[in-house]
Amino acid sequence: MDPIRNLVRFRVKGEVLEYAMPAWIDGGLRKAWRRATEDRPALTPAAVRAVRSLWGPAADDTAFLREVLPRARYTYRWDRPEGTDGWSAALAAARADLAEHPDDPEDDEPEEDGVDEPGDDGVDERLAAESVAAALDEMVQAVASVGITPSGADDDGFVLLPVLLSEPDERLGPMIEQVPGRLYASFGMHGPTERGTTLWRHAPHEDGEVAGVSAQLLLIKAATNLAGGLVVRCTDKEPNKDSLLEFSRDGGNAGAALTIPGFGARQAELLGAERIVVGVPCNDVCWVAGEGSPAADRVYELVREHTHTDYLVPAVYLIDRDDRIEVLDSVGEAVSRPQRQIMNDGHMFATFNPICPEQPPGTDEIALSELWPRGADR
pLDDT in tens, the chain (378 residues): 678 888 999 999 878 999 988 787 778 898 899 888 888 888 888 889 999 999 999 888 888 898 889 889 999 999 988 766 677 778 888 888 888 888 776 654 444 444 333 333 333 333 334 444 555 677 788 888 888 998 888 888 899 999 999 888 888 899 999 999 899 999 999 988 777 777 888 898 988 889 888 888 889 889 989 988 888 989 988 889 999 999 988 888 999 999 988 898 889 989 999 999 999 988 889 999 999 999 999 999 888 888 777 778 889 999 998 888 999 988 655 444 444 444 554 545 666 666 665 433 333 333 334 433 433 333
* Residue from 373, 27, 300, 326 nearest 182 by CA: 326
N-terminal to C-terminal alpha carbon distance within the chain: 36
Length of the chain: 378
- In this prediction the pTM is 0.65
Residue of 220, 214, 221, 249 whose CA lies nearest to 233: 249
What is the largest distance, in Å, between two alpha-carbon atoms of the chain? 71
**Dihedral angle of Cα 152, 157, 160, 163, to the nearest 10 degrees:** 140
Nearest by Cα to 282 from 344, 334, 349: 334
CA angle 75, 43, 26 (to 5 degrees): 45
The distance of Cα 378 from the centroid of its chain, to the nearest Å, equals: 25
Between CA 223 and CA 252 the distance in angstroms is: 13
Question: Residue 125: is it exposed, middle or buried by C-beta count within 10 angstroms (0-12/13-18/19+)?
Answer: exposed
CA dist 19 → 35, 58, 74, 231 (Å): 8, 17, 15, 35
